[in-house]
Structure 1
Amino acid sequence: MSTRTDEDRYPAVEELSALVQKVLADPDVTDSVADHVRWVHRTIRNALEREDYKERYATSLRELLGPGATALCELTEDGELRLRGYKNNPKGVTTSQRRRSSILRRLAREAGVPSGAISYPKPPRKPTMPAWARSQLHNGLKAQVEKQPSDPGLARMLVVVGLVLDAAPRTGELCTCGIADLAPDLSWVKIIRNPQAVSSDLHLTEVWPVSPITQAALENWLPIRDQLIAGLQGSKNSLLVSHGHGSYRRGTPLGRKGLIESYVAQVGELKGVVTSGGGKGWELPEGLEQLRLGVQDQRRAYSVEQAAGAKTPHWGPAVVLNPLLPEDAEKKKTAAAMAKVVQAVDAFHAARVSAGDDTDPTVLRARRTLREATRAAWARTDHTATLKLLHQARLANDDLAAAGYKEPLLDALERT
């Protein structure tokens, strides 16, 4: 317990607490940054329990956040002041050091004093895959999906790999994907972009085309997912759910940590099985982020080639929903998309009556138009609004397949 004498001798102790509260009260501070501020505050308090550190640096905020910050960085580099009692230094400690140093500089700026926090260089980025390796990944994914694996971990990982190859989502963006984010025919997926260092809650929603092989992986996964969530109480919307491995409860939404762990485990298992059989393994990157970065590099290469005039296929989202665009403009696009659905339903009925045979080319073209219109309306609204619209346009439930709705998706939507 501090005394009045301690407060007089070491005013920085109380001043630091007030400074931290001031930073946390800033409405622009995100939850993630707030957690890091509290973490650094605990580390400093831990250091202040050392009489030599307290005696030397707690006399003022200028000392505590100047030379005291330098000493703090050096102590943590040596594995001291650890809050959780780990015996060994963690791997990748540079990331923690960089975060801590960044928060120390932020506190110094807020206090109006020079910062003594050590600046740590960014770690070198892991090499991403060359183009030929990405082609092999597609081939490997196709071979695995065609086996229609019943193992939940493998079936789910194939969906994850497919979506990353198609749209390059971050791990957190994958975890937030729900059943409702899949297009009626599974050919598109909505990705809510949540880039790092962006504090706003308003993010772009990109609607990306899904490759046929990823669609097949989804069709294989959805029935398995239904079995995993059977009997589960609460929300059943998440696309990626746990299969009960380790401490993760069966059927619960898979979090970022669980997704990374399951990916690493499945990659290791796949390589082990193939290698033990004397064959060459499916050369997936060991880390999910490394896979994403490789796909992003490919995407940037496509953009450069297009800018140079090459006839490179366009690779990008089919639709982008920007919450910052004028509301009236978005409403007009949504209304136009929904109007096309009604027209497509009418044309489909008319083609059926005229042809009298569902295999007639006229009916098949009308089905294709209806499927595309339904998908476009879903991209700008959701499944509830789209299905309601189809019903109002007098499309029978038995004809939802003509609008592109896959049976596994309808079953999953019903369970949500």
Structure 2
Amino acid sequence: MPEQRYSAPSVRQLAAVVERVAPRDPAKWDGREKAPGAAGVLVQVSEQRAKQLWMVVGMFDRAVRREEMPRRAVRDVGQLFTPPALRAFWRLAAGGELRHWEKDVGKPLPVPSQRTVRDCLKILAALAAPGRRVRLPRVEESEPKPTVDPGQLTAVYRELVALAGDGPLERDGAGMRAQERARLLAMVSVVLDTGARVGELERLNVDDLSPDLEVVRVVRRPQRAGKGYEEVAFRLGVSLGTVSKVMAGQDERASFQLAEEIRREVAAVQGAGPRVERYVLSHGSRVALKRWLHVRDGLVTPLEGGKSALWVTVFASKAGPPGIRIRAQGLGQSYGRGVHALNFLMAGQPGWEPLPVRMEQLRRAVEAEPLEDEAAGPTAQE
């Protein structure tokens, strides 16, 4: 990271503090100090977090040049974290006035970026103003996108049945393989019967299905509730976004070891393990799953690694050969492609409203009730 000169004494003091926990010189990285985390836990910041901290230092450097900031904030680092200074800083930052590139100045920060800046402010305040109670800015929650009209769910299923047939699906050069359509139908059928999240779908194994395909077992994990995600992020030195995505099964960039460590830490902080629920599968879902299992068996036969996974890849990709477990991101993309094709084919049909291409919006339209006997799981399928 190139050396940066700051004009304001307060920002130079802030940079000196950050240098201790995120040194610019790679040779000093292994000897960096720990930063205060949640509940006073000391952790070493990650490389990603280090870049974010320096980004916020740069934002402060641009902020103190603005008339909106209190003049005393120029002189002393502690003054950067007083209520008047933080309020002025946040208005400028959220409004996009402190962006690095001039061409982007004035473009409001999206909510995820606002959360990143807020997380960095918490770390910087603990480092630069220890012992001071700092009121951090609030980040508004994003409004959930509209769900599918429940009245359309039957139509969704009916049309996906047609899509999953053996005949070709192609229009104006756009096509979808029969194997992928079979997986899509089975996957969406399970969502309609269970309301499973994409991360929960990813973790499904064949032995989560009863031998007669009448019941499916879904492992639910706690979602959203404050819920220790921030504390785990501090403990492990990763971003809050990384923890949230791993827990939702959506972060393919996280290594398997890191993802497992994050899940263990979240479970320890929350004090509650996964919850197993069982759902009755509809007749149509049983038909769709039987068709998909036949396709799947032909894909995983030569592979040991994919034999347990219910959802596997149907063609070679950068992730590997056909027949390996498909990750949450791949499941979401497959659903998006299928719905895009469905919307294209159904365009202009009476009463048809284009479906959203995100599976989450379909899932939130489902009101599925698990069986009361949640403790018992289906017998492993031979």
CA–CA separation in structure 2 for the residues paired with 1:46 and 1:230: 55
Residue 24 of structure 1 deviates from its aligned partner by 6.9
Q: Is the deviation greater in 35-44 or in 160-169? A: 35-44
TM-score by length of 2: 0.61
Call closer, same or farther: CA 1:289–1:133 in 2, change over 3 Å. Answer: same
1:316 equivalent in structure 2:
370
CA–CA separation in structure 2 for the residues paired with 1:61 and 1:191: 50
**What are the within-5 Å matches in structure 2 for residues 192-203 of structure 1?**
192-194=219-221, 195-197=223-225, 198-199=227-228, 200-201=266-267, 202-203=273-274
Q: Contact conserved, 1:65 with 1:114, CA < 8 A, in 2?
A: no
CA–CA separation in structure 2 for the residues paired with 1:79 and 1:213: 54
Q: Contact conserved, 2:195 with 2:363, CA < 8 A, in 1?
A: yes
Aligned pair 1:12/2:30, yes or no? no
- Residues 304-336 of structure 1, C-alpha deviation per residue, up to 9 Å, x if partnerless? xxxxxxxxxxx3234324xxxxxxxxxxxxxxx
Call closer, same or farther: CA 1:219–1:102 in 2, change over 3 Å. Answer: farther
Partner SS for 1:191 = strand
CA–CA separation in structure 2 for the residues paired with 1:58 and 1:191: 57
Larger radius of gyration: 1
CA–CA separation in structure 1 for the residues paired with 2:205 and 2:78: 47
Aligned pair 1:225/2:307, yes or no? no
Q: Contact conserved, 1:175 with 1:256, CA < 8 A, in 2?
A: yes
Partner SS for 1:239 = coil
Partner SS for 1:227 = helix
Aligned pair 1:41/2:41, yes or no? no
Call closer, same or farther: CA 1:47–1:79 in 2, change over 3 Å. Answer: closer
Residue 113 of structure 1 deviates from its aligned partner by 3.8
Aligned pair 1:94/2:110, yes or no? yes
- Residues 191-239 of structure 1, C-alpha deviation per residue, up to 9 Å, x if partnerless? 1112224444211111221112111111111122233335446353222
Q: Is the deviation greater in 17-26 or in 219-228? A: 17-26
Aligned residues: 301
Aligned pair 1:270/2:347, yes or no? no
**What are the within-5 Å matches in structure 2 for residues 222-371 of structure 1?**
222-232=293-303, 234-244=305-315, 247-249=318-320, 250-275=322-347, 284-295=355-366, 298-299=367-368, 315-321=369-375
The AA in structure 2 aligned to 1:21 is A
Equivalent in 116, 121, 132 of residue 140 of structure 2: 121
CA–CA separation in structure 2 for the residues paired with 1:168 and 1:244: 27
C-alpha RMSD of matched pairs (Å) = 4.5
CA–CA separation in structure 2 for the residues paired with 1:9 and 1:135: 59
CA–CA separation in structure 2 for the residues paired with 1:9 and 1:218: 60
Equivalent in 142, 156, 162 of residue 183 of structure 2: 156
Identity of aligned residues (%): 21
CA–CA separation in structure 2 for the residues paired with 1:92 and 1:248: 35
2:37 equivalent in structure 1:
23
CA–CA separation in structure 1 for the residues paired with 2:278 and 2:50: 37
Residue 139 of structure 1 deviates from its aligned partner by 3.7
Q: Contact conserved, 1:58 with 1:64, CA < 8 A, in 2?
A: no
1:370 equivalent in structure 2:
none
Residue 156 of structure 1 deviates from its aligned partner by 1.5
Residue 136 of structure 1 deviates from its aligned partner by 2.8
Aligned pair 1:186/2:205, yes or no? no
> As a proportion of its length, which structure holds more helix?
1
Q: Contact conserved, 2:296 with 2:323, CA < 8 A, in 1?
A: yes
Residue 62 of structure 1 deviates from its aligned partner by 5.2
Partner SS for 1:258 = helix
Q: Is the deviation greater in 267-276 or in 151-160? A: 267-276
Structure 1: gaps of 5 or more residues:
300-314, 322-375, 384-404, 411-416
Call closer, same or farther: CA 1:2–1:41 in 2, change over 3 Å. Answer: closer
Residue 42 of structure 1 deviates from its aligned partner by 4.8
1:71 equivalent in structure 2:
89
CA–CA separation in structure 2 for the residues paired with 1:38 and 1:316: 44
